[in-house]
Structure 1
Amino acid sequence: MIYLRDPNTIVVPRLPNLEPDRFWMALRFFGYEQSLRDWVSGLQPLDPESPTYAQDLAFWSAVSAKLEWAKYFERDHPMIEGARQALGITEQQLDDMWTWGLS
């Protein structure tokens, strides 16, 4: 599964986008930066013989590129939701972190 949004879907954001420096600052402040990096690192497929290798590689490539090169981060982006779930953060905790990052 690749975290890409359907281009035909109109999404009204709950919270404004975060610039990369604000996104990473919030992750650092709340202690999730390394956990997020570890999650992304763990997505990288290691076995080219795996039947899902190409799909897994595409997924890891999309997620790692988004985190490294994004011009902004959308609170409601599917990748952010996937990371939230993987890190065991509640929606309210993420909203609080996001709001802090906006301040």
Structure 2
Amino acid sequence: MTVFHLIDAFGNSLGEHEHTPGAPLPQRYVTVAPPNLDEGEFAVWDGQWVARAEKAGPPAFEPALDLSPLPRWRFKAMLRLTGHEADIQAWLASLNDPDSPNHDPATWALASAILEDSDEYRFDHPLTQTLRQIAGVTPEQLEALWDNAHSL
């Protein structure tokens, strides 16, 4: 007779099971005995037994961020509410200024057309990432701002 140590879907120890040859195998088991535990500890199988203060469970639910396209008014409101609109406008103007070290008429033509004439703005568009850098915003901060702009 073989002794199996039963575990649940998260690796928590459920106790022992004496297996009779020829009988169906339990759904989840290991053949290594869990360690002796102190009061209040739980044995969790994670490729090996680990003593934990809590039983293992499903990962905490984190709602997905809404990074879908923003309509023009939400995008503009996000820029204004965060105080970055002036920085973006100054950068855009510098692209069209022959005396500026940023002078780049082709980039100005494209960026100004997108910023002024788009009906929606995409999070994954390269211009969005350029604007993020100009505004000094981290990728995580932009994700949060974009997600929150959908709630305006």
Measured against the shorter chain, the TM-score band is 0.7 to 0.9
- In 2, Cα distance between the equivalents of 1:45 and 1:93? 30
Structure number with the higher helix fraction is 1
1:45 CA drift (Å): 4.0
Counterpart amino acid of residue 93 in structure 2: S
Instruction: Tell me how large the CA RMSD over aligned residues is.
Output: 1.6
Kindly indicate whether the alpha-carbon contact (under 8 Å) linking 2:87 and 2:134 is maintained by their aligned counterparts in 1. no
Following TM superposition, by how much is the alpha carbon of 1:30 offset from its aligned partner in structure 2, in angstroms? 1.1
Superposed CA deviations along residues 10-55 of structure 1, whole A, max 9, x for unmatched, are xxxx7100000000111111111111111111111416xxxxx7xx
1:58-95 Cα offsets, whole Å, 9 max, x none, are 11100011000001000010011111112211011111
Q: Distance in 2 between matches of 1:39 and 1:95?
A: 22
Bigger Rg, structure 1 or 2: 2
Structure 2 SS opposite 1:63: helix
Supply the distance in 1 between the matched residues of 2:119 and 2:88 (Cα, whole angstroms): 18
Q: Which has the higher contact order (CA 8 A, sep 6+)?
A: 1
Structure 2: unaligned runs, 5 residues or longer = 1-65
Higher deviation after alignment, 36-45 or 61-70 = 36-45
CA distance in 1 between partners of 2:121 and 2:133 (Å): 17
Unaligned 5+ residue runs, structure 1? 1-13, 48-52
> Which residue identity does 2:98 align to in structure 1?
L
Query: How many residues end up aligned between the 2 structures?
Result: 83
Does residue 78 (structure 1) correspond to residue 126 (structure 2)? The answer is yes
CA distance in 1, matches of 2:69, 2:120: 6
Which residue matches 1:41? 93
Percent identity over the alignment?
35
TM-score (norm 1): 0.74
Find the aligned partners of 1:95 and 1:36 in 2 and give their Cα distance: 18
Q: Which has a greater percent of strand? A: 2
